[in-house]
Amino acid sequence: DIQMTQSPSALSASVGDRVTITCRASQSINSWLAWYQQKPGKAPKLLIYTASNLHSGVPSRFSGSGSGTVFTLTISTLQPDDSATYYCQHYKSYPLTFGGGTKVEIK
C-alpha cells in the first residue's frame, strides 16, 4: 500500500497569513492526488484534484502543486473559515489512502 505522510500535523496562523501543508507519498503517484477540508462533525469537502485542479466552488485562495512524491496545499491568505483539518489522498492504485491530516488553527 502507498503511505501518505503529511506535515505539519498541526499549525496555528493568523488571518491573512500564507499557509503551506506538505504531503509526501511513499512512492511516485504522478499527479494522482486530492486534498480535502474537514470541519468537526462534518463531511470532508474536496478542494483539489489531480494535484493542482481546483474543485468547483472552492475559493481561489486554495492552490495545490507537486508531482511524483511531494505535494503542497497552499492557502494564500488565511481566512477565519479556513479553520479545519486538511487531508491529502492518493488515487494511483487501490487501496486509496489518506494522509494523517493537518489541523489548521486561527490565532
Partner 1 sequence: EVQLVESGGGLVQPGGSLRLSCAASGFTFTNYWMHWVRQAPGKGLAWVSRVNGIGSRTSYIESVQGRFTISRDNAKNMLYLQLNSLRADDTAVYFCARDGADGNYPDYWGQGTLVAVSS
Q: Which residues lie closer than 8 Å to 41 by C-beta, 6 or more apart?
A: none
| Residue-by-residue DSSP string for 55-91 | PTT--TTEEEEEETTEEEEEESS--GGG-EEEEEEE-
Query: Would you count residue 58 as binding partner 1 (CB under 8 A)?
Result: no
Binding region for partner 1 (CB under 8 A) out of 14-22, 59-67, 70-78, 84-92: 84-92
Nearer residue to partner 1 within complex by CB, 17 or 38: 38
Q: Does 101 bind partner 1 (CB under 8 A)?
A: yes
103 binds partner 1 (CB under 8 A): no
